Chain A
């Protein structure tokens, strides 16, 4: 295909940001124009990605829409391409970004122009991560995301924003550094950083363990896995609503995507070897962070910890290396993208009205904000994996996968589902139900139109994919099967080599 749709998807938001940067005139005009430009580019990008999905061929596991340009001659090609796994993450990104833009326009009062630039640059970098088929290009986009996120947390964040921004930046940078070393080593081992070629040529088994660990250090921090998750609650709590949404919905998914594409694809032997480590860390994450989430007094912190627990499910699913587990992980990531985004928006709604994130300052909101209570209910139930929501499909498939491989892991992971029900419902009960004790809450206004639009679209998708996940499963089906097939042949090959 000659039409470079992936490059356009990737760089269109950056071009939008460029235009916003050059808007001039009175403050009012600048704000109006930059809002319009941001909305326009993010929606155009969304429709472009729908078009991409529509034209996507689900019958093959080959990379599609491949663009291959010479970049550093003899070393690195600027290579873009997508398969069934990445196309859905691109869709998620282009769907969440307009919501972030709307939420930002709604709730951010100062320096909106800079905020929109940061969000659009962020979108470029995130789409780039999911498109790139070259390790160095991947690293560029993966790390580049730190810059706008640092700015978003630092400028528009809460009270401890500076601390959180620094923690986020340095933590993730340190994690990624080892990945850079691994990427360069791969270049010297295989002579290329082109992912497709590396997947074909195979990396010798003796190198795989260290390389796997280097990639793991980066993805584990980004995902985040216990015990390197501590940056996440801080970053989430202090970030503005739109920032939390981007963080939870998309940034965390980069790591899950990385595990699938790179760790399992390139280092199958090491992935097999380290699976118990992943299981252990994920189980601890699920149970420990769920318990921690139970005790939180801050709504955002509670949702942040629940994200860590949900990501624990994702890693278990990926490393079951069964078809159900893998597909479940992808669905879980997508649905967590929708649900956590919605939950952070829910917190944002009351925070914009009452400027408090503490659970104890609320109670009885159902009396004044019935529509809000309804949507909060939907997303609460989705977060705990109620059948009929997308959260259920993901968790169910992951547990099915886990039962095939390891009963103990599956049983312990199921505990997480129960704990999720406990902390989510308890949160809901304390915020929404009961009588209003605090008289100031009586003046709160229910959802306005733009908020309603955001919530309806998120709720629609959550429920739609809960009842009918087929479009998603169809898209990922062939790619996932291919991934697992390759993995199994690699392992079999390795075992015969060892026997000889």
Chain B
């Protein structure tokens, strides 16, 4: 293949962003058209990426990598982005944020993520990160008339800028010390015992931990999730996590692989802290978006536990965890988008009261997804945790495994609380019947995958076993 063919998806994405932006400017009331075009272009990008499977090349002076890992993560990104656009469509229309800039911003952030995922060089990585982050700041503040949304955007911007600053500082230390920005060269010339390299590692880990919202760098998450429009929240909860986790894995296992003794404990701490804090803090939440924020923090904690093992199995289990987490959260957000009466969307958990009587099928979907998020067998969420703990115990990290499983029990409590509200409490007025087919189909797909995952769990593991980090 020619070198251009490897970067064709990114080129196609950039061109379609520019073309669709022009269309949006010149055609009035173009949201619907733009949205559909963007879904189409995402599908096409996905197909282009799919063609690169089993490739393993580094292009542009080894600064950009195309391998199974990046291909898998990019496909995950496109698929979850497509589904997010589909399920949030109804919400966007009803809350009058149906401006054509919205899907275009999503697309630019996806482009940034693609670049992050494939980056094999500090500068390329940083470019991708900035492109992604800048789009996300605007998205968080997209509902201009809402004070909360503006606050969320600003908060996200300030904190994220700070963390990016730390990250950049780490990068510059790394460059100053190893005289290169290329991951492979860094990995060769990095002396794990040198104090400067340790500083660099710590700064970079802090920056990345902010991106995956691991405790103690999670402070922005609940506020931003709550303040942003729900459509943006659902996007935040799923898509950026993929790129962030990819970069996390790439950093730890390529440039820093020799310094595993230095970063392992840091990540174990991040993981344990995320699991515990998320489990405890989520108990008191009454807003379902805030609860999902803490839930995502907790789930990232489990994914980090896989990375912390330092083994190939651990990384694969993290990727698998992420994949299953995406499926479950997608369905959960589809449920959250259906929480509306007379075209007003609700975020309070108490609004779900007695839903099982008026909307039995929606409630069943919610029930399945929540039990799965809690990790109860035989649903998919259990397998996600199972693989992670397989890897963790293989690495003899029993303490991490026990803490992780105890937090599973604590977090089961707050998922059960929602189920209790839906099934055991007195019923309120019914929610609107949702006419949107896309959201129903997405919810259905997600539930079916979660319930029937146990029949053939090897499909996903086979796919992920193709991934080779080094």
Residue ranges of A at the interface with B (Cβ–Cβ < 8 Å): 70-73, 111, 114, 136, 139-141, 143-144, 146-147, 150-151, 154-155, 161-162, 165-166, 169-170, 173-174, 177-178, 180-181, 184-185, 187-188
Contact at B406–A174, with CB atoms within 8 Å? yes
| A166–B413 touching, CB < 8 Å | yes
| Contacting residues, chain A, for B378 (C-beta < 8 A) | 140-141, 144
Cα distance, A398 to B110, chains bound together (Å): 68
Judging by beta carbons under 8 Å apart, are A181 and B405 in contact? yes
Find the residue from A70, A144, A174, A180 having the highest chain B CB count within 10 A: A180
Q: How near does chain B come to A151, taking the closest CB pair, in angstroms?
A: 7
Residue B416 is within 8 A (CB to CB) of chain A in the complex:
yes
A174 contacts B409, C-beta separation under 8 Å: yes
Most chain A CB inside 10 Å of its own CB: which residue of B413, B416, B461, B462: B416
Answer yes or no: B252 CB below 8 A from chain A CBs.
no
> Judging by beta carbons under 8 Å apart, are A188 and B416 in contact?
no
Asked if A72 and B423 make an inter-chain contact with CB atoms under 8 angstroms apart, the answer reads no
Interface SS, A side: helix
Q: Which of the 9-residue segments B21-29, B155-163, B389-397 touches chain A? A: B389-397
Contact partner of A181 among B376, B402, B409, B458, CB < 8 A?
B402
Interface residues of B, Cβ cutoff 8 Å to A: 356-357, 360, 367, 371, 376-378, 382, 386, 389-390, 393-394, 398, 401-402, 405-406, 408-409, 412-413, 416, 419-420, 423-424, 454, 456-458, 461-462
A70 to B455, CA, bound (A): 11
Partner of B409, one of A136, A139, A140, A173: A173
Shortest beta-carbon distance, B17 to chain A, in Å?
41
Q: List 15 additional contacts besides A147-B376, A180-B386, A187-B390; criterion CB under 8 Å.
A: A71-B458, A72-B457, A73-B462, A136-B386, A141-B378, A143-B376, A144-B376, A166-B416, A169-B412, A174-B409, A177-B406, A178-B405, A181-B401, A181-B402, A184-B401
In the bound complex, residues from chain B placing their C-beta under 8 Å from that of A174 are 406, 409
Residues of A within 8 A of B457 (CB): 71-72
- Chain A: CB-nearest residue to B405: A177
The complex places the Cα of A147 from the Cα of B398 at a distance, in Å, of: 27
**Pick the contact of B360 from A72, A114, A165 — CB < 8 Å?**
A114
Chain B nearest Cβ from A9, distance in angstroms: 17
Q: List 18 A-B contacts (CB under 8 A).
A: A71-B457, A72-B457, A114-B360, A139-B377, A140-B378, A140-B382, A143-B377, A143-B382, A150-B416, A155-B423, A165-B424, A170-B413, A173-B376, A174-B409, A178-B402, A180-B405, A181-B402, A184-B389
Q: Which residues of A contact B357 (CB under 8 A)?
A: 111
Instruction: Tell whether, in the assembled complex, residue A147 and residue B371 are in contact, meaning their CB atoms are under 8 Å apart.
Output: yes
Q: Which residue of A lies closest to B357 (CB)?
A: A111
Which residue from chain B places its CB closest to the CB of A113 in the assembled complex? B360
How far, in whole Å, are A174 and B374 apart by their CA atoms in the complex?
A: 13
**Please, which residue of chain A has its CB at the minimum distance from the CB of B424?**
A154
In the bound assembly, the distance between CA atoms of A144 and B401 in angstroms comes to: 21
A188 CB to nearest chain B CB (Å): 5
Q: Which 9 A-B pairs have the closest CB atoms?
A: A177-B405, A140-B377, A140-B378, A143-B377, A184-B393, A154-B424, A174-B409, A144-B378, A173-B409
Residues of B contacting A72 in the complex (Cβ-Cβ under 8 angstroms) = 457-458, 461
Beyond A114-B360, A140-B454, whether A162 also contacts B424 by CB under 8 A is yes
Instruction: Give the shortest distance, in Å, between B93 (CB) and chain A (any CB).
Output: 30
Most chain-A CB neighbours within 10 Å: which of B402, B424, B461?
B424
Q: Could you tell me the distance between the alpha carbons of A71 and B371 in the complex, rounded to whole angstroms?
A: 23
- Report yes or no: B389 in contact with A170, Cβ–Cβ below 8 A: no
Bound-state CA distance A155–B402 (Å) is 32
Pick the contact of A144: B377, B402, B456 (CB < 8 A): B377
B279 to nearest A CB, angstroms? 12
CA A144 to CA B371, docked complex, whole Å: 10
Min CB–CB distance B355 → chain A (angstroms): 13
Chain A residues with CB below 8 A from B402, complex form: 178, 181
Interfacial chain B residues near A173, Cβ < 8 Å:
376, 408-409, 412
Least CB distance from B106 to A in Å reads 36
Q: How far is the CB of B383 from chain A (nearest CB, A)?
A: 9
| Option from A141, A146, A154, A184 in Cβ contact (under 8 Å) with B423 | A154
Complex CA distance for A91 and B32, rounded to whole angstroms: 59
Closest chain B residue, CB of each to CB of A172: B409
A180 with B389, Cβ < 8 A, contacts A140-B377, A162-B424 known: yes
Which B residues are CB-close (under 8 A) to A140? Answer: 377-378, 382, 454
Query: Which residue of the partner chain A has the closest CB to B398?
Result: A181
- Give chain B residues whose Cβ lies under 8 Å from the Cβ of A187: 390
- Which A residues are in CB contact (< 8 Å) with B461? 72
Contacting residues, chain A, for B423 (C-beta < 8 A): 151, 154-155
